[in-house]
Structure formats: structure tokens, C-alpha cells
Amino acid sequence: MKNTLKTLLALVVVITTSAFTVGTGYDIGDIATDFELENIDGNMVSMADYKDAKGFIVVFTCNTCPYAVAYEDRVEALNKKYADKGYPVIAIMPNNTDVKPGDNMEAMQARAKAKGFTFPYLMDKGQKIYPQYGATKTPHVYILQKTTKGPQVKYIGAIDDNYQDASAVTKTYVEDAVNALLEGKEVKETKTRAIGCSIKV
Amino acid sequence: MKLRIAIIALLFFCFGNVTAQSTTSVEQKVSAASTALKVFNFNELEAYFKTKDANKTFVINFWATWCAPCVKELPYFEALNAKYSNKNVEVILVSLDFPKQIESKLIPFLDKHGLQSEVVVLNDVDSNTWIPKVNKNWSGAIPATIIYNENKTAFYERSFNFKELETEIKQFLK
């Protein structure tokens, strides 16, 4: 009887955890959980560290995806533009580095140095965070706004509408969303889609 | 005076014509090198698919040479195309390689691997518009595959091995 109960309990745990990991993730309005992840400088970074922030531009990105690389300068520009206004960029590298050694901590450090990243570039060690967010690819952006309940998801999707040519962009989705939040307005376009590299598990 | 203008006009016409011809020949050389690889925006791609035999079952795989899991599963799509072509199945590989890498990466890749399935390039930056048209559940990650025929459509944002592909295609050939 005790064993049956144990098995049953184990089964419940398995079902519950799989239900949480299989591609659900956050929707607009959900409260995002904080994380504590290692930055390229060796320090641990959490959203809670940012006392003065109004919110965050969380970008799941990596070194090895051409789409992510195409957006590196634009992510840096977002941080330069919005960190002081209260919406800093936090970049999280979600790939399994056994599958993609080009995304390991040393490679992340080298890339950040070469590109002069001024935002934290965190390793999702153990790949625990990206499934909670529901990120499926790089780059994949989540804009969060601090509320009394916690960081609330306000935007999910692409950075803009032209991965090939920054100068030919016509819709700046992320900027539009952050601008709206800064002005106390609702985000008009809350979800967009772009091609990206599947996160490597 | 009139004659002079006429001569200049004539010269200009000839010269213009020559330029036009030389441009054409350059274009021909490029397309010969790319073995007539078709590059479409999304509307053109949709229109192209509509020209295909509606009685067939189509397996459309979105991939790129820089996408490791995509490249890994290409042989399974090739094998599927070979094994099921007599059962009215057609595999089409839609490359999302960047336009500037078509000549430098994609064509050398196609030459090296001798892919037998049809390869077309989709070059359309407005992915927020066309991704939901492929499937409303597609986040945009590749590899991604859509299988469809007159009766049925299924979308997969995942990788395949050959056995898994066969299992899926059999659902369409009942």
C-alpha cells in the first residue's frame, strides 16, 4: 500500500512537472519568476538586484545563432537607450553548451568583450529558466514591467521587423512597447513572431 | 542640327542597348551558377505551392544551412522523398538562408550534398506576417515542418528522424 502510494505520488510529480515544461510558458499579463544566474563577470544576477528599474527587456540570445548575431548591435542599442530610463536589457543564453560549445561561458565572455556589451549576459545553467518563460528560440524577447505582484509580462516576441537590415526596419516592436510602458500606456502590439534558432537541449 | 541630334539619339540607343544586353548576360551567368534556385517572398511561395499537383501529399521543411538540427534531419527528408515519391508524396525544402549567403553557403552546400528534393529559398523579412500564415502555433523556431494534402494538415515545430517522419506520413496516406 505504501509502495502504491509512493508510485502514485511519483507519477503525479512526473505529470505535473512535464505539464509545466512542455511548451506552455508565459502569456501576456503573467507574472514572471525571478532568476539567479551567473553573469559573464562571475557574479550572480537577479531582477531583484535592480532596485530602481521599472521593468526589464529580457532577451534570450546566444553566440551561435545567425539571427541572434544579426541582432547583437540592436540589443546593445536597446540597453543604451533604455537602461537609464528604467528598462535595462538582461540577456540570457539558454542553449545546452554540450550541444553548442560555441555558447559556453568562455565564448560568451569573448563575444561580449568583442561586441562591447554593456548589459549582463547570463548563462541559463541547467536550462531551468527558459522553459518557464516559454522561450523557444534565439533571439526571443520578453518585456517585463515591475508591479506590486512582481514582474509582469507585457510583450513577447521579436525585436523588430527586419533581421537582415537594421536600416530597413519599419516596425520597432520592442522600442514601441517600452515607449508605451514609459508613457503609462498599454502596449499595442503585445506578441510578434520572427524566425530564430531553436533552443538547443 | 537635326541630323546631329538624330545621330546622337541613334548612338545613345545603340549604346543603351549594348548595356542592356551585357546586364542580361551577367544575370544569366548568376542564375546558371545557382542552378535556377528559386527565391520567393511569402506570397510568391504560396502561389508557387498552389501551382503544384493538388492530389499529392506535400512535406514542407523549413531549414537553413546554419541550423545544425535542420542539417542533421535533411537525410531523413531526402530518404522520405525517395521512398514515397511513388506514393504521391513530394518533399520541398524551404531554405531560410540569408540572401547574401545563397551564393557563398547555400549553393555550395546543395552541390556538396546533391539534394534530390526540391529546394527553394524564402526571403521575406516580415516574418511576423507570414509565420502565422504557415501555422498559428509556430513560434518561428526552425527546424519546422508542415505536412498537408487535400484532406489534412499537420504542423511540427520539432526535429525528426526517419522513423518518426514515416509514422507521420502514413497518417496522410491512409
Write down the pLDDT at residue B36: 79
Of B168 and B6, the structure prediction assigns the larger pLDDT to B168
Strands A121-123 and A89-93: parallel
Q: In chain B, what percentage of residues exceed pLDDT 90?
A: 79
Tell me whether residues A161 and B125 touch, CB distance under 8 A.
yes
The radius of gyration of chain A from alpha carbons, rounded to an integer in Å, stands at: 18
Mean pLDDT score of chain A, rounded to an integer?
91
Write down the pLDDT at residue B174: 82
Q: Which of residues 4-63 of B touch A (CB under 8 A)?
A: none
* Interface of chain A toward chain B, CB-CB under 8 angstroms: 65-66, 100, 136-137, 140, 157-158, 161-165, 168, 171, 173, 192-200
| Banded model confidence at residue B139, pLDDT cuts 50, 70, 90 | very high
Say which range, A2-11, A77-86, A145-154, B101-110, has the weakest mean pLDDT.
A2-11
Q: Is the dihedral of CA A195, A199, A200, A201 positive or negative?
A: negative
Q: What is the pLDDT of residues A113-140, one digit of tens each?
A: 999 999 999 999 999 999 999 999 999 9
| Arithmetic mean of pLDDT, A91-103 | 97
pLDDT of A19 above 90: no
For A81, the grid coordinates are 537607450
Q: In chain B, what percentage of residues exceed pLDDT 70?
A: 80
| Arithmetic mean of pLDDT, B47-72 | 96
Tell me whether residues A137 and B132 touch, CB distance under 8 A.
no
Entry pTM: 0.82
Q: At what angle do helices A72-82 and A173-182 cross, to 10 degrees?
A: 10
For A150, residues 6+ apart whose C-beta sits below 8 A from its C-beta are A31, A32, A33, A34
Tell me whether residues A136 and B139 touch, CB distance under 8 A.
yes
| Banded model confidence at residue B2, pLDDT cuts 50, 70, 90 | low
**Within 13 Å and on the Cβ side, how many CA atoms surround B129?**
9
Write down the pLDDT at residue B4: 57
Of B30 and B34, the structure prediction assigns the larger pLDDT to B34
